[in-house]
Structure 1
Amino acid sequence: MRRGGILTMVGAGDVDNLDPSVAVHTVTRGILRACTRQLVTYRAGRDQRTAGDVVADMATEVPTYANGRLDRSGQEYVFTIKEGVRWDTFRQVTAADLARGLKRLAHPSAPGPALTYFTSTIRGLARFRDELDQAKDVAEMIETGTVEGIQVLDERTIALRTTGPAVDFLNILALPSASPAPVEYAGLVPGSRDVTGRLRSNGPYRVENHLPGKEILLGRNPAWDPATDDVRAANIDGVSVRIGLSERDAFDLVDRGDADMLWDIQPITAELPRLLADPRLEIHPAGLLSPYLVVNMLSPNENRATGKLGVRQAVSAGLDRAAVSEVWGGARLNDLTWRILPPLCSAYMPHSPVPDGRPAGDPDLARRLLADAGYPDGLTLRMVHRDRDIHPESVRAIGAALSRAGIRLMPVPVPITELFSTYFASTEPAARGDWDLAFTGWEPDWYGENARTYLQPLFQSAQGGWNLGFYASEMVDRLLAAGRAATDRETAHTAYRAVEAEVLRDMAVIPVLFAHQYWFHSPRVRGWEPYPVLNGDLTNLWLAP
């Protein structure tokens, strides 16, 4: 193993935000793994079976009944932050920093995408969120307001209390969203330029430059002490990400060895056949529900067509999933699906609650379903999607298939940043009918005991998660609550399987593929570990001469 060197990455798009409170994109998580630390985390590796094993990160140890840091009710966790875990200002990370980081997730101007995990699990945080919505001085309340489930005991010790046993609470605390926030962020809106212009790091690397749409540069954090970090080796000296390239140009740079790794795109479909036996192409099962179609339940278009179950069923029946699979690299790289929970999910059941359809679609069935729903002459739907990578080609394949059933698809291609900042940021674009369907994907927020990560963000009625189509079901909300309140895994699994069955019967989203993760890099990239960060753990790879 050789230390040193700069990893060069090339791609098309930018991060969504470098503030961990509001960041969500896969590529952003790779940067956050390098620049932020949490109380607990996961080791880098290649074994899916151990990818969900939680280990101590900033904390001196993981709370358990045996070490006395988890009380007998299973609802109070006590953590002590290791001495020597420091911000890049050389100041010790404190329990107050962690409390600030958790409370700012509920900022009314920029609620964290993972907020529902925390409000439904940390005692009193949902009430604190509601109080923040009415507060005259949000900044002051975040600094001085109290949350029943967050108690700073001393400079480096914090007690966190849950609303119930919460078998996956440690997994939630391993999310980048659970990062501490330094005092420099006090009074600032999460994700704002005021924050991103003064980013602080407590990981082995820090952001030295970010020119949006052009480049990201990471360098070493001089205050990081490897003696306090058992999960990040920090072999390389830094990372240079060049942004704004075409898919072809980025691929060719890596293929020639002029760059080390693709950043936010995957190899061009036409190149995949020759790469499948190439060790530079890494393929790993990842439990991705990707792609799937979000259904806009609020759209007024075509007499509120997407709000009708028969129309949603017709879209699913008419889909040529096999054609989309070929765009995404074929059977080696993905599986067709009509379900939400993949085989890698702990709650997966071999028998589907709904029958699979035809791989190439069934246009006759789709036409009948449309006619029964009141559209014997077909209809037109607007599909918003990313304008890069394999997304436009995928949407063309979907449009060709749906046209056989009388569904005319109007593509709405947009940059990924606009997709989330404009189309998915609020109910207004959905209610105006700016889109009817959205082509996107979902990755699990953690491995191991993770059925909740597919279901709560996508289907819980309350806003603030990844419920992009604004689906609402009291039954689903009750079942999700039962899963969260379960004291054992099997009870939780039963509740979450019932959620999957309910949302599939409602056709709340339209599943398409379970994609594997695959990434392309140069021969000098060694030690590439796909878990826990799906585009590779930057903190453990190294560069050969």
Structure 2
Amino acid sequence: MRFGTALLAGAFALASGAAVAQGQGGTLRVGMAAQDIGRLDPHFAVSTPDRVVVAWMFNGLVRFKPGSINPAEVEPDLAERWESSEDGKTWTFHLRRGVRFHGNYGELTADDVVFSLRKAANAQSSAFSADFRAFEAIEAVDPHTVRITLRENVPSLLGILTAYSGGYIVSRRAVEERGADFARNPVGTGPFAMDRVTPNQSAELTAHAGYFRGTPQIPRISYRFIPSDASRDLAFQARELDLNYGRSDQAWQNRTRQIPNTIVDVFEPGELAILNLNTSMPPFNDIRVRQAVAHAVNRAELVRWRGESVSREGQSLVPRGYLGFTNDVGLLPHDPARARALLAEAGHPNGITIRAIHTQLPEMLSAMQVVQQQLRRAGITLDLQVVEHATFHQQIRQNLSPMVYYAAARFPVADIYLTQFFHGRSIVQTPTAVTNFSHCNQADSQIDAARVSTNPQEQMRLWAEAQRILVQNVCGVPLFETLLVFARRDNLDYGYDLRGSMSLGPLITEGTRFR
């Protein structure tokens, strides 16, 4: 609390009239639930605080229409057009001309695109390399044409290449010149450029005057790190913030809507929270203990706690609404008595204690504390080791926690979620690691077969079978899906209707303005 109070008394202590003038006159002041920024190299931006700001600085070959996460609404971005071969394995993208990188890094060329996609496909330089497994070749045909050749068909090539995760395009020269420093001083082609990062305080961005869609109407963004929910809320109420990362709970939403001149946006995608159970590590190498956890969880209670307008029960190990989702997976019902019996069968008649590493990010911590209480009723004591969010991401990838609470949204096709979280190639601490914390690989054949199938019905069948296998093996326990919530001043106009955002926050574009 001392940290939040210091922020309010120092960096954010603006007179009310001056604060209003600043917001309307230029700087967009954003409050984010983070102690500090993580990694702004877009191919390593995995946490929500990083994803939100990265989307303001980078483009992809294609993008979702602003305000949408509908794959049918993917539209040109850095590529102005493209075509594919009849067999779907060769794609040619024709780049816009005259696209400028931030600063003095010149014009975008096919060489930058090839470099970026190869970087995204390399596990040493990207957290999203598994998405590019089917890529055989990425080559520059000429300075404004890129050809991609696939070894096998993928469910959605354009999905991999959107302005999201591994699809972001970086400046080759900037990456090579800045090296490790690129993670704090990134260079893209997006509407905003990084000015500076002040650790534990803010990231400051400036409008990219050479942006190919036009100079942004907002000249500056101050992206402020305020981990305390109370401190962020107070700053927003004092008109020291124009846009505030919200809490996905009903009480917060109801209370915030009562603040004068305030709009609360609730939007897709729903982030699916899962308890990933490490099947290779005691005690979860015993399926009875995993089943006990599944029986201990009460999804309906979690939704009541979070709020029915901002959350919904998890029904599978793939989020609702994704192509390939099914709720016919045989989830174990809430049954604490059965959980205790299973623990006794597994040799733990007096219950069991599990040590788990968890983030201090308020929204995730409060959710895990509710789960902690549910598990306790079934004889499972959860000893939470709470660490800073960036440290959490580092440690869970080092196999240091047998249980990992992870909430995520991905491109809305079952393949990507299944591959990143539940395929053998994605097991953490392997050369091709992504986010498979459960160490499950039982559905690999179904996931792989679905990816290359050209029969949509067969694809759906295989994805459903994969989900049933993973749920039967209790590789993870789905908890709930949380919709995204941000509060803004009613004079902040995004320039589009916000129904969804794959970057997990509002896109600030060239059309965003203060009315």
TM-score clears 0.5: yes
Q: 1:183 to 1:453 in 2, by over 3 A?
A: closer
8 A contact 2:288–2:342 mirrored in 1: yes
The DSSP-based 3-state class of the residue aligned with 2:55 is helix
Alignment root-mean-square deviation, CA? 2.6
Q: 1:27 to 1:399 in 2, by over 3 A?
A: closer
TM-score, structure 1 as length reference: 0.82
8 A contact 1:7–1:543 mirrored in 2: no
Matched, 1:96 2:111: yes
8 A contact 1:308–1:373 mirrored in 2: yes
Match of 1:417 among 387, 390, 413: 390
Equivalent residue, structure 1, for 2:321: 344
Matched, 1:452 2:415: yes
Equivalent residue, structure 2, for 1:74: 88
Please say which of residues 364-373 and 383-392 is displaced more in the overlay.
Answer: 383-392
Deviations 1:218-253 (A, max 9, x none): 1012332226xxxxx833222101114421010121
Counterpart amino acid of residue 333 in structure 2: G
Deviations 1:21-40 (A, max 9, x none): 22122332232222111111
- Distance in 2 between the 1:198 and 1:282 partners? 30
Match of 1:150 among 122, 125, 138: 138
Deviation, 1:506, is 0.8
Counterpart amino acid of residue 147 in structure 2: A
TM-score, structure 2 as length reference: 0.86
8 A contact 2:194–2:203 mirrored in 1: yes
Equivalent residue, structure 2, for 1:140: none
The DSSP-based 3-state class of the residue aligned with 1:352 is coil
Q: 1:284 to 1:105 in 2, by over 3 A?
A: closer
Q: 1:440 to 1:536 in 2, by over 3 A?
A: same
- Distance in 1 between the 2:377 and 2:151 partners? 50
8 A contact 1:107–1:189 mirrored in 2: no
Deviation, 1:381, is 0.4
- Distance in 2 between the 1:533 and 1:160 partners? 25
Matched, 1:203 2:190: yes
Matched, 1:217 2:231: no
Deviation, 1:98, is 1.1
- Distance in 2 between the 1:343 and 1:209 partners? 38
8 A contact 2:299–2:313 mirrored in 1: yes
The DSSP-based 3-state class of the residue aligned with 1:397 is helix
Q: 1:30 to 1:396 in 2, by over 3 A?
A: closer
Matched, 1:113 2:81: no
Matched, 1:534 2:504: yes
Q: Which has the higher strand share?
A: 2
Match of 1:440 among 406, 430, 452: 406
Aligned length: 480
Deviation, 1:493, is 1.8
Counterpart amino acid of residue 260 in structure 1: D
Deviation, 1:462, is 1.4
Deviation, 1:372, is 2.1
Q: Which runs of 5+ in 1 are unaligned?
A: 64-68, 124-148, 228-232
- Distance in 1 between the 2:435 and 2:266 partners? 29
Please say which of residues 338-347 and 96-105 is displaced more in the overlay.
Answer: 338-347
- Distance in 2 between the 1:255 and 1:19 partners? 33
Match of 2:459 among 489, 492, 509: 492
Deviation, 1:270, is 4.6
Deviations 1:255-288 (A, max 9, x none): 333211124x526765344346876221224232
Match of 1:377 among 332, 350, 354: 350
Matched, 1:10 2:31: yes
8 A contact 1:327–1:393 mirrored in 2: no
Matched, 1:313 2:291: yes
Q: 1:375 to 1:75 in 2, by over 3 A?
A: same
Deviation, 1:188, is 6.7
- Distance in 1 between the 2:211 and 2:349 partners? 65
8 A contact 1:42–1:51 mirrored in 2: yes
Q: 1:400 to 1:90 in 2, by over 3 A?
A: closer
Equivalent residue, structure 2, for 1:394: 367
Deviation, 1:425, is 3.1
Equivalent residue, structure 2, for 1:471: 439
Q: 1:3 to 1:401 in 2, by over 3 A?
A: closer
Seq. identity, %: 19
- Distance in 2 between the 1:29 and 1:541 partners? 20
- Distance in 1 between the 2:220 and 2:447 partners? 42
Counterpart amino acid of residue 451 in structure 1: A
Q: 1:4 to 1:151 in 2, by over 3 A?
A: farther
- Distance in 1 between the 2:90 and 2:475 partners? 35
Counterpart amino acid of residue 521 in structure 1: R
The DSSP-based 3-state class of the residue aligned with 1:226 is coil
Q: 1:6 to 1:276 in 2, by over 3 A?
A: closer
The 5-angstrom pairing of residues 187-198 of structure 1 reads 187=176, 192-193=180-181, 195-196=182-183, 198=185
Deviations 1:305-349 (A, max 9, x none): 111111111011112334433442x22211122412333122233
The DSSP-based 3-state class of the residue aligned with 1:60 is strand
Deviation, 1:102, is 1.8
- Distance in 2 between the 1:54 and 1:271 partners? 33
Deviations 1:181-230 (A, max 9, x none): 3232454797x22x235532211210011123211011012332226xxx
Q: 1:392 to 1:20 in 2, by over 3 A?
A: closer
Equivalent residue, structure 2, for 1:250: 232
Q: 1:3 to 1:451 in 2, by over 3 A?
A: farther
Deviation, 1:488, is 3.9
- Distance in 2 between the 1:214 and 1:508 partners? 38
